[in-house]
Amino acid sequence: MTVTIRKIEESDYLVLISLFKEFALFEKLPEKMTNSVEQMLREKEYLTGFVAVNDADEILGYATYFFGYYTWIGKSLYMDDLYVRPNFRGAGVGTKLIKEVIAFAKAEKCKKLRWQVSEWNQPAIEFYKSLGANVDAVESNCDLVF
């Protein structure tokens, strides 16, 4: 199977909504996924990322990101999601996606790439460590939802 990484396009939104729901279910938080295709279309300038597709242009996974500015270090990239459909895990899809995000962050002269991982997701933690990431338990999420 050939896997190609490309930027997210509007035509991907319907499939992506399905994958967002899968990811929320995987994270044991399905009630928190409230996004919709209509919302994505209204906010499309903020939806940035990559999809991994096979030869049939089927989306196997995705990574989303946005720029941030950390006062201690400067311009950075935050990877919001990295998700690969269960049937395609272990085939290098996640590695290709995150390497594309890393290359993008470097090309944009970011000082770091940051993302989160659930503390119960040991396979992901080990994967991220194998890439050289420092996985710490120093900070906790603070969300104020409107």
Active site residues: 128
- The candidate with the shortest Cα–Cα distance to 27, out of 35, 17, 38, 19, is 19
Q: What separation in angstroms does the CA of 145 have from each of 32, 34, 65, 87, 111? A: 10, 12, 19, 33, 28
Q: Please state whether 90 falls in left (phi above 0), alpha (psi between -120 and 50) or beta.
A: left
Report the distance separating Cα 29 and Cα 23, nearest Å. 9
Give the chain's radius of gyration (CA, Å).
15
